[in-house]
Amino acid sequence: MTEVILERIPEGTLLLTRSEISAMVDLKEYIDIVEDAFRKHAEGKSFGTGMLHADVKENVEFHIKAGGVSLSMQYFALKVNGSSFQNMEQFNLPNIMGAIILFDGDKVFPLAIMDSIEITKKRTGAATAVAAKYLARRDSETVTICGYGNQGKIQLMALNEVVSLKTAYVWGRDEVRGNSYVEEMAEELAIDVKYTSDLEEATGKSDIIVTCTPSRMPFLKNSFVRPGTFVAAVGADSPDKHELEADLLSRNRVVCDITEQCAKVGELHHAIVDGIMKVTDVEGELGEIIAGNVEGRTNEDEIIIYDSTGTAIQDAAAAALCYEKAVSLGVGTMINLMK
């Protein structure tokens, strides 16, 4: 990360827009900082991580995540993401919007207020890439992406940074959107990308499977997944979202981003509710594997599930990356909230 003069008093609070963030920071930088943040978490260098989910009414919800991590300095971030799934149709507004407030963890000064959607999208894909780096087979070359939205795109792009992909299948129930995804991603990544409506056939050929949908009914079965596969379960970030049948977790190794959080809102949550898993059945957390405290992949045949609910340490680290880079480049608008 860019060096920042830490002892000075901040001039004010920096405002950063989505386009400013997108232009400044590339995906590789997100992958590096997310890996570092998970390692720091395992080393006890994170603090105050927590989350809150609030349903306002049907199809309107908020996700609130807060936490800090020690990087070039102590950073604390509060993120609020709102989802209103009729926004685009009714008001011509994005269905998902949000903001991150980044604080100096020592002086408690609000360093920055920034768009959260660009950061959330990229840090989520980055976490899957980091998990694949440690948990996927080294010879992995075929992936199935379940979901063709923005997250489906960034998941494939992030995986392509750490795995030598040759073939990608995208699965969903809308062939038009699926074919649009194929055209865009094949051009972006120069790999063979194919749309499929047959999930079982595609996953049976895949070394990596990513689920990143808003589904509330599980669709990925244990019988669909061949030995040696790495599965990243990304979509379940609230208690009602559910993509994997619970026995896929109970019969295989499970690694969480934060186990306590996954037990409340992730795929692990559903396995616990079904009475077929306990928190103690989890192999460990991603940060523990990165730090070498828990063993990663032990053989070529094991199926490993990464339960990714998205963490405040990812948000804090990614926001800190954006803030430090903006300061170094002179990007953003400074305001004084204390006036």
Q: Which residues are catalytic?
A: 79
Alpha-carbon span 334 to 113, nearest angstrom: 10
| CB-based contacts of 228, cutoff 8 Å, min separation 6 | 137, 207, 300, 301, 302, 303
Quote the Cα angle for 124-231-27, to 5°: 30
Find, among 194, 51, 191, 48, the residue nearest to 120 by Cα: 51
Residue 318, token pair as written in the block: 């990614």
Please state, in angstroms and as integers, the Cα–Cα distance from residue 64 to each residue in 96, 237, 308, following that order: 13, 11, 16
Please state, in angstroms and as integers, the Cα–Cα distance from residue 329 to each residue in 6, 160, 334, following that order: 16, 28, 13
| CB-based contacts of 55, cutoff 8 Å, min separation 6 | 61
C-alpha count within 13 angstroms, C-beta hemisphere, residue 135: 34
Residue type, 303: I
